[in-house]
Structure 1
Amino acid sequence: MHRRIGVAAGAAALLLTLAGCGGGGSSGSGGGTASGTGSPAAAGGVGGGGGGSGSGAAAGAAVWSKWGLKPLPPAPAAPADRPIKLSRTGPVPVFSRVPTTQRVVFITIDDGLVKDPRFVEMERELHVPITMFLMNDAIKDDYGYFRSLQALGYSIQNHTLHHPVMSRLGLAQQRNEICGDQKILTAEYGTAPYLFRPPYGAYDRATREAVRACGPAAIVYWTDTMEITGIRYQNGRLRPGDIILAHFRGPQQLKGERMTAMFANMVKRIEEQGFTVGRLDDYISRPGQAG
């Protein structure tokens, strides 16, 4: 569904539109295959400040078992020479995976519609790294929920004010969407986002101009999309450096399942293929950052 959401669209329209988030992205849903049918039984700034923790390495087997999971392998040490290097000049780059040979993938979670306190509990216990791309219409009723996840070292990035199809807007409207979300996220979470994800994966030249003008230094796509129990792959299976797209969703969008069940299923699919989860920020050199 490619539909612009207005500020006053209302909760029902927001639920309907976000159900299709990512559906239009060529990296997110096109031609992939869904796999997996199992059911689940250090503070960082918005831009990804603190040191990353490795896929719940500190959590014991009993804690993982509580969530119906086996422990993930510890994440490898972050590379000293970060493979993605961003700049404040030149065209805004677009990437959908991280160039690495490490058997590590990266989880990104979009929108912020459903705020399940059990998911915060799950992350406090397991410490599986995530990167959040938040849209103001979805989060404005409870900014504090995402501070709880930010406090675990997970960065908050830009996903527009109202979740429109960006390529259908003019430059001025696109700047309003990106700059508006940038301003709010910076004020609420203390650090300016340095990454941007366009809703539905739709962007054009004007989007890249607006991103540059508003502050983020890159556009982030994805290679795989998490559904309720399985992952839809672009290339048939996970590969080192893949970026997985998921959403903050609940029973209404997940056919009765909670966010924690969806997340547990995703972790199972990752573990089954011999991968672990890394912290995306640890593989990116932001503008002005050494490494």
Structure 2
Amino acid sequence: MKKDQLLTRRGALFAGAAALGAAGTAGAVLWGTGGGQAKPPAPAAGPQASRPLKPSAYRLQPLTGYGPPRTTPGRTLVRHEPFLKMSGRGRTMVLTFDDGPDPRYTPHILDTLAEYDVRAMFFVCGEMAVDNQDLLARMADEGHVVGNHTWSHPLLTRMTRGQIRSEMDRTSDVIEDAYGERPQWFRAPYGAWNRAAFQLGAEMGMEPLAWTVDTLDWTTPGTRSIVHRVEGGAAPGVVVLSHDAGGDRSQSVRALRDYLPQLLDSGYHMTVPRRRTA
């Protein structure tokens, strides 16, 4: 794949992309070309944690923590649920990778995406990004979208508002320095959202994005198991959750090499969401 075939950070990464219109509701993000709105699937509730989690205890069962509705004036609407999938035209899917970047695995994932000229989303942790800023720069150069996944991957529902703000703001600063843009998307660790996270994310100009299909790769279930989950869950608008850090992600790397060409051969288009004005 020639490098001049890829989007560049300074040239076309966010061409035509702007803020999502207020017409979008929680559950589905509209593609830039428009399209109908899909009903969001209900997220699977995981077990509640009995004690605060250490930042290193990354791969536990995702939690749900949706807060009550709340709106405040501002450029970004404050939502009370994250987007769970995309709506729009065609057989489009979104691949997302959490917790990196990790120099052991992220470059291999980027290589595979580049081989097939595919864009993806990377929700990065600040403590990983600060030591691997070259990988964020590469993501920008190759047209990927980088989102905020907090600094140390904590359980936000057990933190104060000030602590949450610090986790998010520090990570946005690192992303801006290395990637060239402040993030427009945010994902809560463990899928544990609360009202403060939604409010603070909106204040920082970020929309909340969850997922439709969890590969459960953090459990290291085997490459074939990951592939089967992705292929079995494939459908228009699906957002796939995988990881490129937080443990041994060699299975995730191998699985991507397997399922990506198969999805493309099946007529799916891997893309990234673009925020737009109404």
When normalised by structure 2's length, the TM-score is: 0.66
137 and 169 in structure 1: CA distance in 2 versus 1, 3 angstrom threshold: same
- Give unmatched runs, 5+ long, in structure 1: 1-41, 53-77
After superposition, residues 116-265 of structure 1 pair within 5 angstroms as 116=105, 117-216=107-206, 218-226=207-215, 227=217, 228-229=223-224, 230-231=226-227, 237-249=233-245, 253-254=248-249, 257=250, 260-265=253-258
Quick one: which of 3, 6, 14 aligns to 1:49?
14
Identify which of structures 1 and 2 has the higher relative contact order when contacts are C-alpha pairs closer than 8 Å and 6+ apart: 1
1:8 matched to which residue of 2?
none
What CA distance in whole angstroms lies between the structure 2 residues aligned with 1:160 and 1:109?
A: 14
What letter corresponds to residue 96 of structure 1 in structure 2? L
What letter corresponds to residue 140 of structure 2 in structure 1? Q
State the Cα deviation string for residues 134-162 of structure 1 (Å, max 9, x = none).
Answer: 10112222210221122111111111011
1:16 matched to which residue of 2?
none
Total equivalences in the alignment? 212
2:21 matched to which residue of 1?
none
Establish whether residue 106 from structure 1 lines up as the match of residue 94 from structure 2: yes
Over the aligned positions, Cα root-mean-square deviation in angstroms equals 3.1
Q: Once the 2 structures are TM-superposed, how far is the Cα of residue 242 of structure 1 from its aligned partner?
A: 0.4
- Determine what percentage of the aligned residue pairs are the same residue: 21
203 and 231 in structure 1: CA distance in 2 versus 1, 3 angstrom threshold: farther
Q: Quick check: 2:35–2:89 contact (8 Å CA) kept in 1?
A: no
What letter corresponds to residue 261 of structure 1 in structure 2? R
What letter corresponds to residue 43 of structure 1 in structure 2? T
1:276 matched to which residue of 2?
268
Q: Quick check: 2:139–2:146 contact (8 Å CA) kept in 1?
A: no
What CA distance in whole angstroms lies between the structure 2 residues aligned with 1:234 and 1:126?
A: 17
What letter corresponds to residue 132 of structure 2 in structure 1? D
State the Cα deviation string for residues 228-250 of structure 1 (Å, max 9, x = none).
Answer: 33257599632210000111149
Q: Once the 2 structures are TM-superposed, how far is the Cα of residue 275 of structure 1 from its aligned partner?
A: 4.3
What CA distance in whole angstroms lies between the structure 2 residues aligned with 1:245 and 1:269?
A: 17
What CA distance in whole angstroms lies between the structure 2 residues aligned with 1:90 and 1:114?
A: 32
What CA distance in whole angstroms lies between the structure 2 residues aligned with 1:102 and 1:188?
A: 33
160 and 267 in structure 1: CA distance in 2 versus 1, 3 angstrom threshold: same
Q: Quick check: 1:224–1:231 contact (8 Å CA) kept in 2?
A: no
